[in-house]
Amino acid sequence: MAIQSIRLFGDPVLRTPAAPVVDFDKELRKLVKDLTDTMMDAPGAGLAAPQIGVGLRVFTYYVDDQLGHLINPDLDLSADLDEEGEEGCLSFPGLSFPTPRAIRAVAKGLDMHGEPVTLEGTDLMARCFQHETDHLDGILFIDRMDSAQRKLAMKAIREAEWSGLTPPAVKFSPHATGGKAL
């Protein structure tokens, strides 16, 4: 088991678009295992490779007892209205904020052996696919908030113990992911 350090908000790797995977080899299989082990240890509902400092388009997920991974994902989002739901992130430990997301998503990509995969998700699974794919594009969930909510989120981030800016002012509260961050 290879638990990796999770990069926190402010690390430039989180704002850098990840490169497509081209080599489906032993190193990729190790990356998927490291991502899975780190996600399960955190615990989280999802984890993208940039969150452990690897700039490749890979993410893992564990939602509703479904464990998996997706490489080089492409999302097709429902035309339905977005739903605002509480969302957390392992790169923002202990914090969660209302974030709008499509309620249905189809994710197409590859597995670690290069075989095509199509995944469909609603509600939390759809939210996870969107959140993790955003990480691969250098987009963070705070970027999806309206300006008023983003302002409140940034205040909470500045006050978070891990930010190193001020003493802790925000306590963890379980959210829609059952206490797991995405």
Active site residues: 132
Nearest-angstrom CA–CA distance, 12 and 174: 28
Nearest-angstrom CA–CA distance, 34 and 37: 5
Return the bridge partners of 77, or none.
105
Asked if 93 contacts 162 with a C-beta cutoff of 8 angstroms, the reply is: yes
Any binding-site annotation on 131? yes
User: Quick one: which of 43, 39, 73, 44 has its CA closest to 56?
Assistant: 73
Nearest-angstrom CA–CA distance, 32 and 113: 11
User: Quick one: which of 68, 91, 104, 72 has its CA closest to 5?
Assistant: 91
- Numbered residues of the known binding site for Fe cation: 89, 131, 135
- Numbered residues of the known binding site: 89, 131, 135
